[in-house]
Every structure is written in structure tokens, then in C-alpha cells.
A = this chain, B = another copy of it.
Amino acid sequence: MQHSTQAIHAKAIELGKLAVQMTTQSGAGHPSSALSLSHLVTTLFFEHLRFDPDNPWHPQADRLVLSEGHAVPIVYAVYADMQGRVGTSPSNSHRLSITDLNGLREFESVLDGHPNPAEGFPFFDAATGSLGMGLSVAAGVAWAALQDGSPRRVYCFIGDGESREGQIWEAADFTIDHKLTNLCAIFNANGEGQAGLVSPQQHAARLIEKLQAFGWRAVEIDGHDPQAIHAAFVEFEQTDRPLAIVARTRKGWGVQPLLGGNYHGQPVPAARLAEAFVSLDEQHRQLGSSPALAVELRSPISIPPRSTTASASPAIQLPPITAALERVGLSGAWQKGKLATRRAYGAALVALADMDERIVVLDGDVSNSTFAEMMAKAHPRRFIECKIAEQNMVSVAAGLAAAGKIPFASSFAKFLARAADQIELAAISRANIKLVGSHSGLGPASDGPSQMALADLAFFQSIGAVDNGRHLPSCVIFQPADAVATYRCVELMANWPAMCYLRTHRPDARIIYSVDERFEVGGSKILRQGNAVILVASGYLVGETMGAAESLAQRGCSCTVIDAYSLPLQSAPILESARNCGGRILTVEDNYGGGFGTAIAEAAAAAGSITVRQIQVRRIPKSARTPEQLMNAYGVSAAAIVEQVIAWSNEV
């Protein structure tokens, strides 16, 4: 559905005016970046992007990921022009009007400063704005479409300066590995960054060379030439390889006040708005178009009509863990009474995937450590090997979640830190992803601190402690003590409608729960009752703590032991227990803090009268041949617990 060159120019000018207008009105925004995309966006929306403005939730519609999120005004403009629907759900939505654009960046508006689907702009699949993540998200959406046999195509706009982010090249590798033939990456080579010109390393010619070296088909075009843009999109549609379009563009295209200087993130001053419009009108004259020509454009909707109300998916109910262990050949563990939590994770994945097609698993070349490999063996088509590129893995997972999958992404817990920024953006997107970190804490002892996740709980808990705007914590954390708890926590994760983080451990852990034990988000279990200090632990340290309690009991000091396996923690029962026995709580962790101990200390400090002390790692570790050596050296052990409790009990 090709329109005349003049009509595209006319619409590009019209949308450009809107982008300039709304940013001036808002007093903030990036009109110059938006204008550099004006023809690309116009051509894409009116000639190629098969979507229904009345139903941005349509599961088979083509998708656009705007990786350079700051350019969003041009997308808001075209969306308003098409009267696209906005809102947090089909039942709570309305059509975006041109007038609405003036609300850009207002607190009451759905038009956030950068793409933010969670606040009512569902056209986008993911929040963007921290640069370099979009191609990975697009790859996740594209992977899901291919797997589902959907005709969906996925487009992604990427800034040239942004392509300096290494994640772009991780996504480029991923796209080739997984043959994402339905993915089109468009690089916006306007040559200008924020603080200065883009490096020659990111110029159009070099981008073409790089993309080809990464195995992509890549074409260079004039990004303000409607014919060339159309031809490139047609080439993408007609062939069976991912295509990269490197488009030479002009930042501030057509707007005199935005040309010839560094106007990144600078709206046109209100006093110069008229001048800006005049210079855009002048483009009509130069290009032989006229405002009236823009009217004829229509969206190329050609997606099959489909109900917007996806049938509600029933909760997944896993069989008993014994059946799941048998399924993966681990029955012996049940008899032996011990199993590493990471192995229980693998068994749970397979059980989940047996029951629900939405389950997909990602891993970064460590599936034989995380035990995601059980999924690779049982359901190879739903196992996605991401290789050593954790940033891409997390953003791909966000894309998969946007496409309706329930993605579990696992790696060493330490290496998930590589994707901290991607995890934050996934949280902002309210992406329903499940992150799993193995070998957490001091566990990888002899490998040394470069392999140990020690700051992870502080990071995830700071996100988890805030509301996601839907009355849910932005991230739920699980650190189960045994195989049963792990199995049921993974089940909880699959059914929970928001981001989760599971922390598993390397060594075998004694099975302490019965096969029918129940667990809940934010829950905890009292494992032992006493009247002296309350000991709170999670993960493998529950075993260590039970040992300490036993030792203390023999010395006449009877302690309560609580397995706090989930954050944000329901702290009231723990504080209540503490009030009943002297008001003392000792928490036990093998991370740097900011996790369970902090959560309880904060609750206690807010409530008063309880005293909380914390055992945690208080020095950057080095190697030792066993975790036990490190636990002793850094005071995270049964002996250290005993010592602290005795000393505390002797205080007045």
C-alpha cells in the first residue's frame, strides 16, 4: 500500500509540527530526534505496520519497539493522528486525540516522557529510554511470534549513538543465532549525540560494515526519501532474513530553529514556534507537497480480526514434587532426603512446561550449572540459549513476556547483575519475567568473589519494596531452603502476575518440608519454637541456623527459628514472635545486606521495641576451597550464630 512521495512528505511535515508543538507545550522533550524519524515513522505507519489503532492489544499485530525512547513524540503524533486507543486495559481506554498531545509528560497524561506502556500507552511492548535495550526486546517479541506461527513482524528504531551500547551487538548475535526473519532493525543515523557528534565508529558506513560482519543483511538509505524507505521495508517483507536498514537522517529535519547546533533534548522556545512552523511549511514548497495531501493516508491494517479479551489462563497447579523428580530422573534424591535447590528448579521448570505452553526458559551458557538444562532436554523448542550475554537475555525475556509467554531466565546470580539496568526497565514495563540466580552468596567459595552474588538482594529488594502501580510489589524474591520449597516457589512464580527473582544454591540441601507443604508470597515458616532470641534465615542458611539452635538448646538457650523464604516479607508475625520472647531477632544471611535482615530491621525500627541484629557478609570475600571456610571466616555460620546469641543473652 504505497502512497505518493508527496503524500508521505505532507504527513511527515504534519507529524513533525505536532512533535514540535507538543514538546514546546510541555517545555521538555526531544523534538530534534523525533524529526529525524519523521519520514521513517510516516512510511512505516501508513504503508507497512499492520496494526489496528482501535486495538493496540491485538496479539498478531505488527509491533514497533522504539529503542531510542526519547524520540517518542513522533510516535505519539502519528498515533494521535490515527486516533489510536490508549488506556490501561480495553475496558479502560479511549482514543488519543491531537489535543491530548499537549498533555505530554504531565502527571495525569498517558504520554510519558519516554515510552511507558504501563501508564496507559499499550501500543508499546516495553518501556525504553535507557538506551540500547530495544533490539533485544524486539527479538523476544519476534521469537515468540515465530514460535506461535504468527505472521507478526517486529520493527525496532535504534539511534546511531545508541548503537555504541554493547547490548545492541548482543541482540545482533541473538537475532542471527535464532534466525529471527521477522525482525527489522532501523538505525537512525543522524550523526548527532547529546553532548556532541556521534563517533565515526557509529557512522552509517561503519554500521553497515558491522552489521554485515554480524551476519545481517544491511542496506543504507536516505531516511527522508519515502521511496527508498518503502523499498527497504518491502525488501524486508519479501525476503526471509532479518534486515537492518541504516537510514541517514537529519536531526531536527525541516525545523530551522533546531538545525545546525546541538539541540538534543531542547524544545523549540515558544517564541520561535511560528518560525519552526514556517520552516516546515517551506518544506512543502521544496518537496512539492501540500498539507492537503496528508489527508489521504490510511493505516495498512490487514491483521485478522480477533477478540481483544484473551481467555483468562487458569492457574498452573503442579503435581507433587515426587512426580516431578521422577519425570527428570531424580527420584533418588527424595529417598536420600537431599537435593540442591538449583536441581529442584530444573525439575520444576519441566513440570511447569509439561502443563503450560507459555513456559519458556532462557539461559546464558550455564544451563549445566543452573539446571535449566533439564528444560533444554525435555522441551528443546522452548529453551532459548542466549550464550554469554545477560543484558540481551533479560531484555529478550521482557519481549517474550510482552508476547504472552512466561519466561524464566537463569544464570549465576552474580551475572544477573550484568543486567541490572535491563531489570529496572523490565520492572518499569511491568514485564512478567522470572529471574533465577544460582550459585548465590558465598556458595561458589573457591571461585572467589567475582562469581558471588552479594549485592543482589539489596538491588532486587529495593525494587521489590515498591508498588508497581497495580498494588503488587514490583519484584517478589524467593530464597527457598530445600527442594520442596523451591518447587513450590517456582510454581508461585509462574502464577504470579509480576516480576520475580529466585535465588538458588549450589550444594545439596537437606529436604526439610513434607511433600504437601504450602508456601506463599512474602511468607515465612516457624521451624522451631523457643523463648530466647528469634533466629531468621533463608536458603541453605536455614540448615546452618537449625544447627546453631540445636547447639544453643544444649547450652540451655532455646531459640525460635524462622525460615523467611520470600520478600517483601510479611514481617508482622515475626515481630509478634519477637515480642513474645524478649524482643531480640538475629538474622542470618550470606550476602552484603539490604535483604532479609534489612527488611526485618526496618519493620522493627518502624514499630519500635524490637531489637534486630544482623549476620551478613561484612567484607569482600576471597577464594577458599569450601563455602564453610568462608562462612567461618566472615562469621556467617552456626558457630557465629551461637556466639552472638550467647553474647547477646549475657547483655543486660
- A interface residue numbers (CB < 8 A to B): 26-29, 69, 105-107, 109, 111-114, 116, 118-119, 127-132, 161-162, 164-170, 173, 176-177, 193-196, 198-202, 206, 209-210, 212-215, 262, 363, 365-369, 373, 385, 387-389, 391-392, 414-415, 417-418, 420-421, 424-425, 427-428, 444, 446-451, 454-455, 457-459, 461-463, 465-469, 474, 583, 591-594, 597-598, 600-602, 604-614, 617-620, 622-625, 629-630, 633
Contacts and interface: CB of A to CB of B under 8 A. Distances in A.
- Chain multiplicity (copies): 2
8 contacts: A105-B447, A106-B624, A130-B415, A195-B367, A454-B462, A458-B461, A462-B591, A462-B592
Contact of A605 (B164, B369, B602, B619): B602
Nearest to A619: B467
Given A614-B602, A633-B107, A592 B463 contact: yes
Given A105-B623, A624-B106, A455 B446 contact: no
Closest 7 CB pairs of A and B: A166-B166, A129-B450, A458-B462, A107-B624, A420-B420, A213-B213, A601-B605
A388 B165 contact: yes
Given A161-B387, A592-B463, A201 B215 contact: yes
Nearest to A468: B620
Given A105-B446, A201-B173, A614-B602, A467 B620 contact: yes
A627 to B, nearest CB: 11
Given A113-B446, A420-B421, A389 B164 contact: yes
A166 B450 contact: no
A632 to B, nearest CB: 9
Given A166-B389, A600-B605, 17 more contacts: A27-B625, A69-B450, A107-B633, A129-B448, A130-B418, A132-B166, A132-B388, A165-B388, A195-B368, A209-B212, A417-B424, A420-B420, A424-B455, A465-B594, A467-B618, A594-B598, A606-B611
B447 A629 contact: no
Contacts of A623: 105-107, 109, 111-114, 116, 119
A213 B112 CA distance: 37
A449 B601 CA distance: 28
A421 B166 CA distance: 14
Contacts of A418: 130, 165, 420-421
Nearest to A427: B620
A28 B388 contact: no
Nearest to A389: B164
Contacts of A127: 448-450
Given A128-B450, A450-B425, A604-B605, A388 B164 contact: yes
A613 B606 contact: yes
Contacts of A601: 598, 601-602, 605-606
Given A105-B624, A164-B387, A614-B602, A449 B428 contact: yes
A206 to B, nearest CB: 7
